[in-house]
Amino acid sequence: MHSRRLLVPLILSLVACNLPVAGSAPSETAAPAAVPPLTDFPTPESSPTPESSPTPTEPPPTATPEFVSELPDPSGYQWAVAAAGFQKPVAIAHAGDSRLFVVEQRGVVWVLQGGVVQQDPFLDIRDRVNSSAFEQGLLGLAFDPDFARTGHYYVDYTDAGGDTVISRFTATVGEAQTHPTTEALVLRIDQPFSNHNGGDLHFGPDGLLYIATGDGGSANDPHGNGQNPDALLGKLLRIRVGEAEPYAVPGDNPFAAGGGRPEIWMYGLRNPWRFSFDSLTGDLYIGDVGQNSWEEIDFLAAGSPGGANFGWNLREGMHPFASQGTEGLVDPIAEYPNPAGGCSVTGGVVVRDSELPAWQGVYLYGDYCSGGVWGLLRDASGQWQNSKLFSTPFNISSFGTGADGAVYLADHNGVIYRLKPNA
């Protein structure tokens, strides 16, 4: 999943020993522990001075802004406990309704609704998920945009042989659980090593399914997958599901007419651990885990054509790695060094929660080891503001949103938090 190299599982286990494990782990498939009262975690970093309060003569705002002009002061906000007691949560998703879905790495998906974790798991496929290595397991979940009608949703997991499987499951309306026999294979990708599996998947604003794959693992991209157009590893794939079995290739994919695998949309990625689309603009953000020195955030504006090359393994972040050349490479919008800033970036989400007007348009991302949470915001001149906003003791494995825009963070130790104003 998230480790940086072969030694990282040991490093992370040592780090985790110094962090509190919140919530007791469920046994077998017992529901996670009852949700405790919302508690704050006020550990913000210093930040820009907040804007002054409006004078009595100024009218109150009438609408939530699409983008704020500066990063907010985090001291007025907290990461509040939303649910606890999970086993290694790695993804958070919604199906367009009031439910929040929490993915456990071992192969179980739980439903959180109205502050309560439902008694039975929504999906339990531990019998086919291999989570024996640190980066393996059930890694991604995406709901069909027409889920309310079709009942279809898609998962990304590693199988018994360690290979990546993309499958569709079908939920039955009115039933709390999905029967595992509804699985339909969409795509299988051979994995030469146990790490760098990527694993995230989302439907884009175009209704197509995007799938993030790592470079295949080991270190330094020994098979050259990141820059190889004939390999599905080290890429962001883009396919059309639901109209053809198991899938169709969009005609505007960069290699649809030849010259590479037609499923590829973008390439040059090392281990994209969490990507997302801005739910308002459709802009794409990717957190790509670095090799030894640099973690990066990649960005493409909505409507950009396919074929972007983010550079791995020619470079790591903005820095030469296997090559000095930079021609044709898309620069990251942010990077930070490790171990100074952490060890493994976790890509995040753009805030679109109407209860957080001061955060509109801010992209939040974090680091698995350090627990830092950063904010990214593009100003009127097109420059990116980037600042560390929170320090936490969490092993940040994922961010996610609810259908209402609420922003959540998953601590790999078993707790889901929500970003909220201080009480």
Residue with tokens 């997958």, as numbered in its chain? 225
- What is the Rg, in whole angstroms, of the alpha carbon atoms belonging to the chain? 20
* pLDDT for 5: 38
Domains and CATH numbers, the chain: 8-421 (2.120.10.30)
Sign of the dihedral defined by the CA atoms of residues 194, 260, 328, 222, in that order: positive
Q: How far is CA 330 from CA 30, 72, 386, in A?
A: 46, 28, 18
**Does residue 389 register a pLDDT over 70?**
yes
**Does residue 407 register a pLDDT over 60?**
yes
* pLDDT for 1: 52
* pLDDT for 59: 46
* pLDDT for 50: 35
Q: What is the mean pLDDT of residues 244-249?
A: 97
Q: Indicate yes or no: pTM above 0.85.
A: yes
**Does residue 40 register a pLDDT over 80?**
no
Q: What is the mean pLDDT of residues 231-248?
A: 97
Residue 214's CB: how many other CB atoms inside 10 A?
Answer: 29
Q: What is the mean pLDDT of residues 51-65?
A: 51
Q: pLDDT digit string (tens) for 3-13?
A: 443 333 333 33
Sign of the dihedral defined by the CA atoms of residues 53, 55, 58, 62, in that order: positive
Q: What is the mean pLDDT of residues 279-284?
A: 98
